[in-house]
Structure formats: structure tokens, C-alpha cells
Amino acid sequence: MASRAPSAEDLRTYLDRNYPRVSRVLPDAVVGPGNIAWRGWRRLGYFRYLIAAALMASIPFLMEADLFPILQGGYGVNVLFTTGYWILLTLGLGVVVGLAGLLDLGYVAFFMLGAYTTALMTDSGSPEQWHLVTWSPWLVLPFAVLVAMLAGFVLGVPTLRLRGDYLAIVTLGFHEIVRQSVNNMEITNGSRGIAQIPTPVIDLPFWKLDFGLDAEYYWWFLCIPAILLAVLMIRHLDNSRVGRYWAAIREDEVAAAAMGVPVTKMKVLAFVIGASVSGVAGWIYSVKLGYIAPNSFPLLQSILVLCAVVIGGLGSIAGAVLGAILVATLPEVVRELSGGEEVFGFNIESGRIAVFGLLLIIVMIYRPGGLLAARRRRTELMEAGAADGVILTETPGEALADEPSDETVKTRDADLYDTRKKGDE
């Protein structure tokens, strides 16, 4: 985590630190050549992001050329887009759950706010539809992000002082509050939702592109910069003072505060940053689909995003991406392979939630950090503090903040001392 000069680390040390078991299996014959490539890759610096962009941009063309055995044609590109905004969602929630260690069960509420901000600030729906302004989608993007961030701030400031399990249920309630409010309000057109959200248009003298008219895969191109920017931002934060502070808070909140970490501020920051990413996702989602309604944002989507983050791997970007692919793409693949709506009696659309729910338990028991966890996150979750005799290890932070164990014993003993003293006199 702490940044070291890239040259100081080779592939073997990296593997040892992050994937010790993998490292033990791999012989030097593999790691040696790999090391050269790995170092070269690290030397590239920001060029890596350009290469990643190019690779990502090539996916729809590979799909068009039928190079994938499944997910062909327009359907495949659509799945690709879905995976794209899912990756944004998992990256954002990954900051909250994986880096800051806060359980947020209402994350999709921010996504929803981003989408609705877009709908209400563009020329959407019928002429009678209520609008704040009718701007172009591009102009609205920063506002969608801002509204989501603001919501993260407003929710975070009072609630982030709460204990973890309370926070979980409050955020779950927040999702329902937002969803049902939107459902009941007239300005949002209630449960009917808002249709005809305009598509973004690039209109430059040398380049004209209407996302609504041109090829489907341009929507995926819209996701690429958003994903890469989010990755860049999260990586930089994680490898900085902010990331260290988050790690410290996860490990021991009281000790972190005693070392000068502004705990609540850092938690709110995680919330706000997570929300900003989902604001972008909400914008992309609404301009692509052109229609949003409260039912597009059910509570279980919040839960599914959580599943993706946890199963993919807490605190790791690769894990978040993998999780999004598993949760958003896998059901589509299964649907296509099985050729129906049911597999072993499980409805694919709803049954996957049961399957992912089960996976959450399994992952928590056997691989608490998820498939691609940051190693530290894994050890943290494995051994939260193996104090003998405690039924459930509390975060040490709570032990001291709520009721200092030794002090309590002492104050209880105070009575004893007093009687003893009186007896002596």
C-alpha cells in the first residue's frame, strides 16, 4: 500500500506480499521472465491507462467479428454496456466497503439520484414534465455527480458516527426513502418514471456523433473513460495518506483517532467519493436507456452491487471489476448457454440473487476477502483479533469508546475500595 519506488519491487516480492500461496506455486522459471514484463509494464506509468483503454475499446469489435463464442452482435454489446456501468458501481462501492470498511446497503440510491438529476435537468419526457432546467446531457453530467456527492455527504455526516451494523440498516432505509419518495412525488412523475431522456451528442466541426443514432458500442466507449478515471482516482487515493488513513480506521478506529486521523471526516470522504462514481454511472445509465422509473432501482440492486464487491474481492480494483463481471455478465452468459429462463429450476433473473446470497456466506466463511482480495484486507477479515474468551470480537474501537473494559472494572471496584478505607479508619 505505502508507495515505494517502482524499481524497488520485483514481481516475486509483489506476489509474496499479495498472493503468497500463488507465489509458492510459481517456479522462478515463470516468475523470472514475468518479472521483466511486469517491470516494463510498471515503467509505463500513465501509458498503462491508454493501453487499457485501447484494449477495452477493442472488445466490441472482437464481438462484432464473432470472436467470442457467445454474446454476439447487438445483444453482446448491450451486455458489455451493462457490465460497464456495473464496474463503475462496484468500483464506487468498493471504496466505501473495501477501503473504508463501511457497510453501505443503499448504495444504489446515489446511482438513482444521479440518474434522476440527469432526467430532471435535460429536455426529457413530455412537455408538461417538470424540469429544473433543460440543458444538454454533457452539461448535466457534473451536476449528476454533484447531487450524488451531496447526498453522500448529507447521509454520511450524521450516520457515520454510528456503529457498523446500524449504518448498514440506516443506509438500507435511505435507499427505500429515496426510492419511495421518488415514487410518490409528482415532479419525478411517480411510479410511471421519466421517458425520452435525450442522448448526448458530440457536435464538433470535425466530429459529429449522436450516441442515440450511431452504433451501440459507442455507449461502451462512454463507459471506458469513466471507468479508467475512477480506477486512477481510487488507486491514487489508496496509495496516499488518505488510503493509509482508511486502512488505519479499518484496523483500529480509536488508535487511528489517537494518531490524528480525522475518523468521521475520512468516512464521509469515502461515502462522497463512492457516491461520485455512482453519480457518473447514473448519468450514463439514464442517457443510454432514455427511461428511468423507481422500479429500475430496486433495493436488491444495492445488495447485488454489494455481492459483486464482496465476492470479487474487498479493497482491490481487480476484484471490483471481476465482481461486476460475475454479477452482471455471468447471468447473461448462463441465459444464453441454457437457452431459457431457468437453470435447475432457478429463474435466472431472480434466482441469481439466491445464488449470490449463498456465495456471500461461502466467501465470508472460506475466503473472507473475496476472490481477488487485497492481501491485507484478507488477513484483517480472517483474524479480527483473536482474543480468547470473547464470543464475538468487537472492533477494539468500540470496546474503548463505549465502555472501557479496565476502567469499568476499576470504577466498579471503587465501591470496594471505599468500604475498605472506611473500615481502616
Partner 1 sequence: MAALMTVENVTMEFGGLRALADVNIEIEEGEIFGLIGPNGAGKTTLFNCITGVYAPTSGKVAFEGGPITGRRPDQIVDLGICRTFQQIRLFPNMTAMENVFIGVDARHQTSVFGAMFRSPRHKREENEGEDKSLELLEYCGIRKFANDLAKNLSYGDQRRLEIARALGTKPKLLLLDEPAAGMNPAEKNGLRDLVRKIRDSGVTVLLIEHDMKVVMGLSDRVAVLDHGERIAFGKPEQVQKDPKVVEAYLGAGAGGTAGKPPPPGQGSAPIPGGSGG
Partner 2 sequence: MDCNSSLLGPALVTGTILGFLYALIALGYTMVYGVLKLINFAHDAVFAVGAIGTWFLFGEILNIDEPKQGLMLVLVILAVLLVGGLVSAGGAALLERTAYRPLRKRHAARLSYLISAIGASFFATYLFQQDFLPILLGPGPQQFPHIIAAGPEAFSMNILGSRVTTPEVLMVVVAVICFIVLDRVINQTSTGRSIRALSEDPIAAQLMGVNVDRVIVVTFLIGGFFGGIAGAMYGLLFGSIAWNLGFTPGVKAFTAAVLGGIGNIRGAMLGAILLGLIENLSTVCIDSEWKNVVAFTILPLVLIFRPTGIMGERIGG
Percent composition of the chain: helix, strand, coil (DSSP 3-state, to 5): 70, 5, 25
Best CA proximity match to 167, nearest among 103, 106, 108:
103
Closest to partner 2 by CB, 210 or 341: 341
Among 81-89, 92-100, 250-258, 334-342, the segment contacting partner 1 (CB under 8 A): 250-258
Single-letter residue type at 383 = E
Among 58-66, 237-245, 320-328, 359-367, the segment contacting partner 1 (CB under 8 A): 237-245
Q: Which of 146, 157, 215, 254 binds partner 1 (CB under 8 A)?
A: 254
Q: How far apart are CA 53 and CA 7, in angstroms?
A: 25
246 contacts partner 2 (rule: CB under 8 A): no
Beta bridge partners of 203: 208
393 contacts partner 1 (rule: CB under 8 A): no
245 contacts partner 1 (rule: CB under 8 A): yes
> Which entry of partner 2, partner 1, none binds 404, CB below 5 to 8 A by partner kind?
partner 1
45 contacts partner 1 (rule: CB under 8 A): no
What is residue 281's three-state secondary structure?
helix
Closest to partner 1 by CB, 388 or 406: 406
Single-letter residue type at 339 = G
String marking each residue 341-380 x if it binds partner 2 according to CB under 8 A: -x-xxxx--xx-xxxxxxxxx--xx--x-----------x
Q: How far apart are CA 308 and CA 314, in angstroms?
A: 10
Q: C-alpha grid cell for residue 238? A: 489508496
Q: How far apart are CA 290 and CA 311, in angstroms?
A: 31
89 contacts partner 2 (rule: CB under 8 A): no
Beta carbons of 331 and 348 less than 8 angstroms apart: yes
Q: How far apart are CA 85 and CA 320, in angstroms?
A: 12
Whose grid coordinates read 443514432? 213
> Which entry of partner 1, partner 2, none binds 289, CB below 5 to 8 A by partner kind?
none
Closest to partner 2 by CB, 134 or 264: 264
What is residue 368's three-state secondary structure?
coil
Q: C-alpha grid cell for residue 19? A: 498472493
Binders in 162-201 for partner 2, by CB under 8 A = 162, 164-166, 168-170, 172-174, 176-177, 180-181, 183-184
Min. distance of Cβ 228 from partner 1 in angstroms?
A: 14
What is residue 194's three-state secondary structure?
strand
DSSP states of 16-34: HHH-HHHHHHS-HHHHHHH
Non-local CB neighbours of 186 within 8 Å, separated by 6+ positions:
130
Q: Which of 133, 241, 295, 337 binds partner 1 (CB under 8 A)?
A: 241
Q: Which of 1, 195, 293, 355 binds partner 1 (CB under 8 A)?
A: 1
Q: C-alpha grid cell for residue 32? A: 523470472
Binders in 225-244 for partner 2, by CB under 8 A = none
9 contacts partner 1 (rule: CB under 8 A): no
DSSP states of 312-351: H-TT-HHHHHHHHIIIIIHHHHHHHHH-SSEETTEEHHHH
Q: C-alpha grid cell for residue 179? A: 426510492
380 contacts partner 1 (rule: CB under 8 A): yes
Q: How far apart are CA 132 and CA 378, in angstroms?
A: 46
Beta carbons of 114 and 145 less than 8 angstroms apart: yes
Q: Which of 28, 203, 210, 418 binds partner 1 (CB under 8 A)?
A: 418
Residues across the chain: 425
394 contacts partner 2 (rule: CB under 8 A): yes
Binders in 272-301 for partner 2, by CB under 8 A = 299-300
Min. distance of Cβ 17 from partner 2 in angstroms?
A: 21
194 phi/psi in degrees, rounded to 5: -115, 130
21 contacts partner 1 (rule: CB under 8 A): no
Q: Which of 39, 42, 131, 376 binds partner 1 (CB under 8 A)?
A: 376
Binders in 171-200 for partner 1, by CB under 8 A = none
Q: Which of 127, 260, 339, 389 binds partner 1 (CB under 8 A)?
A: 260
Residues that bind partner 2 (CB under 8 A): 97, 101, 103, 105, 158-159, 162, 164-166, 168-170, 172-174, 176-177, 180-181, 183-184, 299-300, 303, 306-307, 310, 342, 344-347, 350-351, 353-361, 364-365, 368, 380-387, 389-395
Residues that bind partner 1 (CB under 8 A): 1-4, 233, 236-237, 240-245, 247-248, 251-252, 254-263, 269, 376, 379-380, 385, 396, 400-401, 404, 406-414, 417-418, 420-421, 423-424
